[in-house]
Structure 1
Amino acid sequence: MLIAPYVTAAATLRASRAMRTLALLTGVNALGNGLFATISILFYTQHLGFSVGVVSVALVLATVLAIGGDLVSGRFSDASSPKPVLLAGLALSALSTALLLAVWDEASFVVALCLISLGQGLCMSSNTTLIRRLAHENPALARASLRSLLTLGVSAGALLAGLVLASGELAAFRIAILGNALTFVIAAMLLLGITVPPAPPGAPGRPRPVLPDRRFAVFSLANGAIGIYLHVLSFALPLWAVIHHPELIWVVGLLVALNALFTATFQVPASAGIESVAAASRRLVVGALRLALSYLFFLSGWSSSPGVLVLVLIVFLAAHTAGEVLYSAGTMELLFRLAPAQQQGQYGAFYGISNGLMSSVAPALLGAAIALNGGWGWWLLAGATILLALLICAVSRGAGPQDALDTITA
């Protein structure tokens, strides 16, 4: 039973040369992303010498540009082709990442982060639109398959990051950043070899706004709020380790790598068998419950014996990873089922904006939850995650033109 989803997913990726190239592109880019995400916060604060406040402000400004880039990406991808937009995003990401090595003051640091985020914003909706056009009948499973490759790349990158963190040398951080920039260049070269099908019939040159679709808007905004879980391993866990167990900071890279490895292993099976909006919603809620449970790990420093600490870390990782794969399986299916094929770019842009808004405040919220006594911040995050998941479940089951059959048969 566990093998069948992989067979279907592999067939989806083998269906065309373009999908195989996109899979390779995804893995290469993920390698650099996993490396950079794990070392970036320590590079900014320890080696560049900026305070957490300066970094937080820079990240907020960068998120605004990422949102703008995502909007542009969605409109142009729908109206013409996602390929040139994605290519521009990869090129800008490569140049701006390398620019980090030339940062000399706060202003140049903010500029570099903003350009990196703008490049990533251009990649967001264009990548979603590209998957939908290349995958044809089963975009959600194709995206799950690509996400497995992405997480394998992130896992490998995080393992490399562990070596960088263990070294602690500025030269190691610089080499890692250049390596990340190089992965964008390789990804752009691979993208040049992909032939993209034309826009689906009925795709307008100037797509109508997404905001009137209240069901998709509520789904996107609630999902963006729940998406704070994406920053728990890369942001909250390192801070928790520094505060409670500084001697175990090296474990962060290992946990990120294991999370990525397990996510890659189980994402396709978790995404299999979802054939309706109702099924996607149920899987999403189950995942949210597990994510909420994982937040309770941070309620104390767990400063008892090393054996207990290791056991608790294993339980935390298992709960967080299970929640991530199940929740992602549901959201990926809803992203494609609730959005018209001819407007995937614009709907994907709104979806990306919702995630981007929460990304900008995630460091502050997670930092506050760690700093505040009593652990009530983590209880609030856990409760909000469950309630928002139930809200998504409720609004997604509302009948829409393209999902009427799903609602009837659910």
Structure 2
Amino acid sequence: MAPSGPQRALIAASFVNRVGNGLFNTAAVLYFTLVVHLPAARVGVGLTIAGLVGLLAGIPAGNLADRYGPRTVWLTALAMQAATMAAFVFIHGWVTFTLIAALDRLAATASGAAGGALIARAGGERPAAFRAKLRTFVNLGVVLGTLGAAFAVSVGTRTAYTALILANAASFACAGLIALVGVPNYQPLPRPKEHHRGAVLSDRPFVSFVALYGAMGLQYQTVSLLLPIWLSAHTGAPRWTVAAVNAVNSGVCVLLQSRIGSRVESPRQGGRAFRLAGLLFLVSCPLMALTADVPVWVAPVLAVLAVGVHSLGEVWESSGGYALGFGLAPDHAQGQYQGLFGAGFDAGQALAPVVLTTAVLGLGHAGWLLLGAFFAALGAAGPPVAAWAERTRRPSPSPTPVAPTAR
């Protein structure tokens, strides 16, 4: 079934946005250290502070989206992201960098909460298929942006990096314009009397799922951070191996996300997908560790095989996360729930570098085995958490259709 008009607009806006993200994220640290001349350690501290500050916006922004409509909040957040991104061109010191980065993360978190509520409202008759197609184009956008950034990085001038930053700022503005024209201004849904601004925090099954999802999110940086360090420090694999595994990871996600994700619709199916993802990670992590124990010419082949298995697990994990993250949230409080969902994921990503580079690398092969077992245990918890959550959901009558307001 072809996407509807609002769905196509959301896909297009998200794609443009993520192309910009791919452009900037690939070169951000290099810009701050080589062009602005900030020490790498201070950049890391600033980004950590910004990430922690950004977590504070999730639930409040979600509440605003539920109360005033998700499109309004999303467009506001995109405008703020465009402004903060452009401001990076003018930074000269650490304090200014940290302040702008914190404002950027606040806007990004708000954008995630409101955008999630907007995705829920535009879901249509087959929301899982729409979300899977959306994620496919999001992944493709990041890939294309990353390829574009490679040119600027190779040039290495301030002008080239400035062009990347302004292109990312423009991507937020373009995404907002696409949404303004193509996405209806959905009205807030009626809320029950017992609803309150912190209702999601008292939903213990959902909070438990968010904790699982945030912890399972370490798998993303297993490929992007941990494996490259391992390959360079413990194997004689050629340098192009890192590029190859990243290409395999992106390719598998782009090719399979829509096919697999469209089949994971209910929370119960999401729990099973989560379990399968954990088992695939249980296989991939030891394979990654074994790259240090094989001949040099075998290491790249084994790394590509391991990342192929891991990427398949990533597709199942993200599909299960979407099914549970959206399926367990009440229609009238999608913004609030997506705010906590995004904040939980971001918290996991903030902790991932420390956990992976100290605990896993510090233990060597044993660390990889423990990491695989950790993912498998998280996955095994998926089905019971999903069943618990479904038992606590109230069967709600179909809401009366609410027409969107004028665009």
TM-score by shorter chain over 0.5: yes
Residue in 2 aligned with 1:196?
A: 185
Residue in 1 aligned with 2:120?
A: 132
Structure 1 259/131 Cα, relative in aligned 2: closer, same or farther at 3 Å?
Answer: same
Structure 1 65/56 Cα, relative in aligned 2: closer, same or farther at 3 Å?
Answer: same
Deviates more, 1:223-232 or 1:53-62: 53-62
Alignment partner of 2:64 out of 61, 64, 76: 76
Alignment partner of 2:345 out of 355, 375, 379: 355
Give the drift of 1:243. 4.2
Give the drift of 1:99. 2.2
**CA distance in structure 1 between the partners assigned to 2:50 and 2:99 by the alignment:** 8
**CA distance in structure 1 between the partners assigned to 2:302 and 2:226 by the alignment:** 16
Alignment partner of 1:118 out of 106, 121, 139: 106
Residue in 1 aligned with 2:74?
A: 86
**CA distance in structure 2 between the partners assigned to 1:144 and 1:282 by the alignment:** 17
Residue in 2 aligned with 1:262?
A: 252
The DSSP-based 3-state class of the residue aligned with 2:263 is coil
Residue in 2 aligned with 1:163?
A: 151
Deviates more, 1:146-155 or 1:333-342: 333-342
Give the drift of 1:318. 0.3
Residue in 2 aligned with 1:408?
A: none
- Asked whether the 8 Å contact 1:202–1:342 carries over to 2, the reply is yes
The DSSP-based 3-state class of the residue aligned with 2:48 is helix
Alignment partner of 1:313 out of 294, 299, 303: 303
**CA distance in structure 1 between the partners assigned to 2:85 and 2:242 by the alignment:** 23
Deviates more, 1:41-50 or 1:110-119: 41-50
**CA distance in structure 1 between the partners assigned to 2:246 and 2:322 by the alignment:** 22
Give the drift of 1:60. 2.3
**CA distance in structure 1 between the partners assigned to 2:104 and 2:299 by the alignment:** 37
Structure 1 275/186 Cα, relative in aligned 2: closer, same or farther at 3 Å?
Answer: closer
The DSSP-based 3-state class of the residue aligned with 2:298 is helix
Residue in 2 aligned with 1:151?
A: 139
Cα root mean square deviation, aligned: 2.8
Describe how 1:21-60 pairs up with structure 2 within 5 A. Answer: 21-60=9-48
**CA distance in structure 2 between the partners assigned to 1:145 and 1:230 by the alignment:** 20
Structure 1 197/161 Cα, relative in aligned 2: closer, same or farther at 3 Å?
Answer: same
**CA distance in structure 1 between the partners assigned to 2:73 and 2:355 by the alignment:** 32
TM-score norm. by structure 1 comes to: 0.86
Give the drift of 1:49. 4.0
The DSSP-based 3-state class of the residue aligned with 2:80 is helix
Kindly provide the amino acid, as one letter, of the partner of residue 209 in structure 2: F
Residue in 2 aligned with 1:5?
A: none
TM-score norm. by structure 2 comes to: 0.87
- Asked whether the 8 Å contact 1:148–1:268 carries over to 2, the reply is yes
2:383 is aligned with 1:400? no
**CA distance in structure 1 between the partners assigned to 2:170 and 2:235 by the alignment:** 34
- Asked whether the 8 Å contact 1:155–1:258 carries over to 2, the reply is no
**CA distance in structure 1 between the partners assigned to 2:81 and 2:16 by the alignment:** 14
Kindly provide the amino acid, as one letter, of the partner of residue 201 in structure 2: L
Give the drift of 1:381. 2.3
Give the drift of 1:326. 0.8
Q: Deviations over 1:239-282 (max 9, x none)?
A: 44554679955654554344233212211111233354332211
Alignment partner of 2:271 out of 258, 281, 306: 281
Q: Deviations over 1:155-188 (max 9, x none)?
A: 1112223334444444433322222222111111
**CA distance in structure 2 between the partners assigned to 1:83 and 1:287 by the alignment:** 33
- Asked whether the 8 Å contact 1:56–1:363 carries over to 2, the reply is no
Deviates more, 1:139-148 or 1:55-64: 55-64
Residue in 2 aligned with 1:4?
A: none
**CA distance in structure 2 between the partners assigned to 1:50 and 1:301 by the alignment:** 35
Residue in 1 aligned with 2:206?
A: 216
- Asked whether the 8 Å contact 1:368–1:377 carries over to 2, the reply is no
**CA distance in structure 2 between the partners assigned to 1:63 and 1:346 by the alignment:** 19
- Asked whether the 8 Å contact 2:224–2:246 carries over to 1, the reply is yes
Structure 1 289/271 Cα, relative in aligned 2: closer, same or farther at 3 Å?
Answer: same
2:172 is aligned with 1:181? no
Give the drift of 1:226. 0.8
- Asked whether the 8 Å contact 2:50–2:101 carries over to 1, the reply is yes
Structure 1 127/370 Cα, relative in aligned 2: closer, same or farther at 3 Å?
Answer: same
The DSSP-based 3-state class of the residue aligned with 1:76 is helix
Q: Deviations over 1:32-74 (max 9, x none)?
A: 1122222223434444444443233222211222212222221
Describe how 1:314-393 pairs up with structure 2 within 5 A. Answer: 314-369=304-359, 371-393=361-383
- Paired residues in the alignment total 393
Describe how 1:222-237 pairs up with structure 2 within 5 A. Answer: 222-237=212-227
**CA distance in structure 1 between the partners assigned to 2:144 and 2:16 by the alignment:** 10
**CA distance in structure 1 between the partners assigned to 2:257 and 2:69 by the alignment:** 28
Kindly provide the amino acid, as one letter, of the partner of residue 336 in structure 1: F
- Asked whether the 8 Å contact 1:28–1:183 carries over to 2, the reply is yes
**CA distance in structure 2 between the partners assigned to 1:332 and 1:220 by the alignment:** 11
Deviation above 6 Å: which 4+ runs of structure 1?
A: none
**CA distance in structure 1 between the partners assigned to 2:238 and 2:152 by the alignment:** 15
